[in-house]
Amino acid sequence: MNLALKNKLQKLQDRVEELNQLLADPKTISKQEMFRKLSIELSEVEPIVTEYQMHQELGREINETETMLDDKDLSIRKLARDEMPRLKSRIGEIEKSLQLLLLPKDPNDKKNVYLEIRAGTGGDEAALFAGDLFRMYNAFSEKQGWQVEVTSHNSSERGGYKEIIARIIGQGVYSLLKFESGAHRVQRIPQTETQGRIHTSACTIAVLPEADEIDDVELDNNDLRIDTYRASGAGGQHVNRTDSAVRITHLPTNIVVECQDERSQHKNKARAMSVLRSRLLEAQIREQKNQLDQTRRSLVGSGDRSERIRTYNFPQGRVTDHRINLTIYKLDEVLTGELSQVIQPLVTENHAQELATLTLG
């Protein structure tokens, strides 16, 4: 273990002692908000320190065993030689565990997300592909126990969507879906193709962490233009006869969001405000990332919407993620929600890059 990691771990060990003292102090106990924050910090830091203490104990055992290797007694030397591989293997495992525990936490990992899918090049075929992608993410969400709420959609005439936006609610949604932003390409023979030619179409996907109303994005009402209009309906007795649909324009950035899926104007406005906050938060995150890391590009992609990140090839039954050169021939499984076999390698690759940065200290 290098010196930089040891120093970080020692500081965390000192911090745990300090936190335990503070949490036992009656003055802290009487201040509920402070007590809550310190308790959360302790719950996050304590597992790392516990692992570090195990590492220290194993280090002492290894030192004692090395001393035994020079013992005059042959049986003791043999015992030490037999024990040393196990101790070194175990301390190596703990070092890897500590490195993972020390990785910087993405503050958005636990958040819900807004999933935006838009048909790109390819016309009707791209819209059909957008429908395929939405069903894929919807099935994956069901397997994870997440809830999916469609915020708005614009259906195409031949099926699928020109655009669909959904809110996905659950534990750790952003941590798994944050690598999905980018251009997704499909290669297949459309039903309308008479000569059996393969067509290439594309959709863009954006995964936005849901903004906290108070902490993340402050909105000034003077910066907003809110318009209401009559939502489109199927006609007949179900047609919407009130101006329940809402369009909000954020004047400083010219970001426009719309919501018409709810029946009441109040609910549509609340949904639209939530989407607007998330888009503004995404812009803030992107700006911070560019400022902090202009010289290093992530191994798993920047998340730029114009970047081609994945290809779904139907004739070959192949899915290829271009960021990590991953190819699997399980297209049917992926499209029915078995997305972990694509997502998990991205998470692993991201961890590897962060570990390399951490090790360099």
Residue 361 CA to residue 247 CA, distance in Å, equals 48
Q: Tell which residue, 162, 178, 183, has the closest CA to residue 118.
A: 162
Model pLDDT, residue 294: 47
Cα–Cα nearest to 331, from 309, 316, 310 = 316
Q: How many angstroms from the chain centroid is the CA of residue 81?
A: 46
- pLDDT single digits (tens) 7-65: 888 999 999 999 999 999 998 888 888 888 899 889 889 999 999 999 999 999 999 99
Give me the pLDDT at residue 59, please: 92
Q: Return the closest-CA partner of residue 333 out of 310, 309, 317, 316.
A: 317
Look at residue 252 and tell me whether its pLDDT is greater than 70: yes
Write down the pLDDT at residue 184: 93
**What pLDDT is stored for residue 236 in this prediction?**
42
Could you confirm whether domain 113-215+296-355 is CATH 3.30.70.1660?
yes
pLDDT in tens, 281-296: 888 777 766 654 443 3
Is the pLDDT confidence value at 241 over 70? no
pLDDT, position 54: 93
What's the token pair of residue 60?
Answer: 């002492």
Q: Which architecture does CATH list for 221-287?
A: 2-Layer Sandwich (3.30)
Domain boundaries in the chain?
Answer: 3-102, 113-215+296-355, 221-287
Confidence grade of residue 87 (pLDDT, cut at 50, 70, 90): very high
Whether pLDDT at 201 is above 50: yes
* pLDDT score, position 61: 93
CA distances from 246 to 113, 151, 156, 352 (A): 21, 12, 21, 44
Q: Spell 145-184 as b/e; 16+ CB within 10 A means b.
A: ebebeebbbeebeeebbbbbbbbbebeebbbbbbbbbbbb
Is residue 133 scored above 50 in pLDDT? yes
What pLDDT does residue 304 have? 42
How large is the average pLDDT for residues 227-255?
73
The length of the chain in residues reads 361
In this model, does residue 188 exceed pLDDT 60?
Answer: yes
Q: Using 50, 70 and 90 to split pLDDT, how confident is the model at 216?
A: low
Res. 335 pLDDT band, cuts 50 70 90:
very high
Which span out of 70-79, 240-249, 297-306 was modeled with the highest average pLDDT? 70-79
For residue 65 the two structure tokens come to 């065993």
Torsion angle in degrees (nearest 10) through CA of 40, 41, 43, 47? 160
User: pLDDT category, 219, cuts 50, 70, 90?
Assistant: confident
Contact yes or no for 45/13 (Cβ under 8 A): no
User: What local confidence, expressed as pLDDT, does residue 100 receive?
Assistant: 78
Q: How confident is the model at residue 301 (pLDDT cuts 50, 70, 90)?
A: very low
